[in-house]
Amino acid sequence: MAKTARSLAATLLRYIAGHDGREFTADEITAWAFQVSENPTITEAEWRNAIERYYSVEGVRNARPGDVLAAAKRLRDRRIGLNRVQLESNPQHVPCPPELRYQARRAS
């Protein structure tokens, strides 16, 4: 039986909570799952890959649900051929091209 994106998101959050020693309320799970349901093309394999990547690199304590969600979206985008601009950890900060970064350093 195929799982919906919403149920996959809920499973992801329960997985993270179990390894992180936290518990998510039903409202928190619904809030995260709603964001994912807008992106129904994220597959179960992409979720698993994103989880494995963040938990092996970041460790259980540092991995955040948002990071895993972003990684799953990037995997989905790569699969369907849509390349997004990679944002920094602060969503308000758009990456600066290297040549402009050099000019800004030199000017200051």
pLDDT tens digits along 13-41: 777 666 666 676 767 666 655 555 455 56
Kindly report the number of other CB atoms within 10 A of residue 44's CB atom: 12
Residue of 16 and 104 predicted with greater confidence: 16
pTM for the model stands at 0.38
For residue 56, give both structure tokens: 């092996």
Percent of the chain with pLDDT over 70: 31
pLDDT at 1: 39
Q: What average pLDDT score do residues 74-100 get?
A: 61
Return the domain boundaries, the chain.
5-107
Q: How far apart are CA 69 and CA 43, in angstroms?
A: 12
- Match 């394999």 to its residue by tokens: 45
User: What pLDDT is stored for residue 79 in this prediction?
Assistant: 74
Mean pLDDT computed over every residue of the chain: 64
